[in-house]
Amino acid sequence: MFRIEKTENVSFGKTDPPVSAGGKKSTGLSASEEAALQGGLQGAAEESEVIKGCGVEKHSESAAKPEDTTAKEVKKLKDMWSPVAKGISDDFYKQIVEIAQRVKCDPVYLSIVLYQESKFNPRAKKGMYHGLGQMTQISLTDSLQNVKRKKLDIDVNTSMSINRFAQLSRENQLPYIEAYIVNAKRLAGIGPNEKLEPGELYALFFLPGYANKSVLASKTNPKTAKYYRSNRPFDMNKDGKITQAELKKFLDDRADAWGIKRPDETS
């Protein structure tokens, strides 16, 4: 989890202040300002934006706090999705924003991927695929082993089975989605702090081992031909290849159909 350490809003310069005739270092401040500064007070010393001669700078405190930014992102997601997905909690959207921050992707595209996979339905099932991100027992187990092996700070039960996972609420499934994305980035050879582009993010759910490649599957490549055949609709230009760019276009088209404003759309 991200932790923010609170620090003082002043910084001290490297140059020593001038020395007075009496041998005492002078700050160039008035007596009242110097007393305030030496006493660790903020009174007279903070009345000016910069205290000259001492390198003490007062920084603006008007910048948005991280929690304010998160709250704005949560509201944006909720406002966009409310006409499409009913009865979704604020906590669900908040977790999506926070997970996106940690795995380095855009929260809007993460929500688009999850809605495409499951319509935000934690009971969604298609064959062996379950839940919000349509995971299998193999992908779930591998993700949880990675959490356990690397002692990752993700709130999951590392012995969770796919059947038990499928019974969790949508909010309680989200930490497992985070564990999956973290592990999928590892499988793709994508660094934990590397930003995920939209097509790359969806590729982690589609074919994680090839997610860092521009061409994910090709009908002429023996290693990926079977993945191409089972996902042929993603070949949007019918050239026999499925690319990251086509996955992004697919997500963009779905977002447009649902009325979701994409981050790259102008106002």
What pLDDT sits at residue 206? 84
pLDDT digit string, tens, across residues 109-166: 999 999 999 999 999 999 999 999 999 999 999 999 999 999 999 999 999 999 999 9
Share of the chain above pLDDT 90, in %: 70
Q: Which residues does residue 129 pair with via DSSP β-bridges, in sequence order?
A: 126
Nearby residues of 167 by Cβ (< 8 Å), 6 or more positions away = none
Q: Determine the residue type at 22.
A: G
pLDDT digit string, tens, across residues 159-186: 999 999 999 999 999 999 999 999 999 9
What pLDDT sits at residue 46? 38
* Structure tokens belonging to residue 117: 């996979």
Alpha-carbon distance 58 to 45, whole Å? 9
Check pLDDT > 60 for residue 9: no
Q: Is 253 helix (H, G, I), strand (E, B) or coil?
A: helix
Alpha-carbon distance 34 to 124, whole Å? 67
φ, ψ dihedrals at 135, nearest 5°: -90, 155
Q: List C-alpha distances in Å: 183 to 6, 24, 34, 144.
A: 32, 61, 55, 9
Question: Which domains does the chain show, CATH number per domain?
Answer: 66-209 (1.10.530), 213-252 (no CATH)
Choose the weakest-confidence range: 51-55, 67-71, 238-242.
Answer: 51-55
More confident residue, 152 or 32: 152
Q: Determine the residue type at 263.
A: P
pLDDT band with cut points at 50, 70 and 90 for residue 65 = low
Spacing of C-alpha 176 from chain mean position:
15
Check pLDDT > 60 for residue 7: no
pLDDT digit string, tens, across residues 201-219: 999 998 898 999 999 999 9
Alpha-carbon distance 55 to 15, whole Å? 8
pLDDT digit string, tens, across residues 68-96: 888 999 999 999 999 999 999 999 999 99
More confident residue, 222 or 39: 222
> How many CA atoms within 13 Å lie on the side-chain side of 234?
24
User: Which among 187, 189, 165, 185 is positioned nearest to 176, based on CA atoms?
Assistant: 165
User: Which among 216, 215, 220 is positioned nearest to 205, based on CA atoms?
Assistant: 216
pTM of the model: 0.74
> How many CA atoms within 13 Å lie on the side-chain side of 245?
5
Alpha-carbon distance 73 to 55, whole Å? 37
What pLDDT sits at residue 37? 35
pLDDT band with cut points at 50, 70 and 90 for residue 44 = very low
What pLDDT sits at residue 229? 94
